[in-house]
């Protein structure tokens, strides 16, 4: 006795396989480099006054700025599914009163930076984070 599978049960499987395998011949895909938007250039140098371990008062955010231009940002952020831990490896540079961070995907984020004693303020039009130097 032959097994019979109705065509309406095969249609979703065939569509899924078509999406995975593609419909045409394989072509080379040109990878375009991101074009920096104005204000997101990654220029400047390491500022030795900012090198060190920094943390917010509640300890939920930590920022490590190294003298070789490497940085690490660790944070616990609230999301719809609960607290999530973020651990990012970055590069950093200061240009005047601006600090720029570049992630592994070459995305650049810039903040106004202000250092007063052991207090480091990073601000943008939408945020302000105050870090304190860890001993």
Q: Strand 61-65 and strand 82-95: pairing?
A: unpaired
Range 48-133 has CATH code 2.40.50.140: no
What is the C-alpha to C-alpha distance for residues 98 and 112, in angstroms, rounded to an integer? Answer: 5
Q: What is the pLDDT of residues 87-129, one digit of tens each?
A: 999 999 999 999 999 999 889 999 999 999 999 999 999 899 9
Give the per-residue pLDDT at 77. Answer: 82
Q: What is the pLDDT of residues 55-87, one digit of tens each?
A: 999 999 999 999 999 999 999 888 899 989 999
- Residue 90: CB atoms within 10 Å: 20
Residue 133 contacts residue 118 (beta carbons within 8 Å): yes
Percent of the chain clearing pLDDT 70 (strictly above): 70
């Amino acid at each position: 006795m032959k097994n019979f599978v109705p065509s309406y049960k095969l249609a979703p499987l065939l569509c899924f396989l078509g999406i995975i395998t593609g419909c045409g011949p394989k072509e080379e895909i040109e990878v375009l480099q991101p074009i920096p938007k104005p204000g997101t250039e990654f220029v400047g140098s390491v500022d030795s006054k900012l090198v060190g371990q920094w943390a917010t008062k509640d300890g939920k955010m930590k920022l490590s700025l190294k003298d070789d231009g490497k940085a690490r940002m660790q944070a616990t952020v609230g999301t719809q599914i609960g607290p999530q831990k973020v651990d990012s490896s970055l590069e950093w540079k200061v240009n005047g009163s601006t600090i720029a961070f570049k992630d592994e995907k070459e995305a650049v984020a810039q903040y106004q930076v202000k250092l007063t004693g052991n207090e480091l303020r990073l601000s943008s039009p939408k945020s302000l984070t105050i870090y304190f130097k860890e001993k």
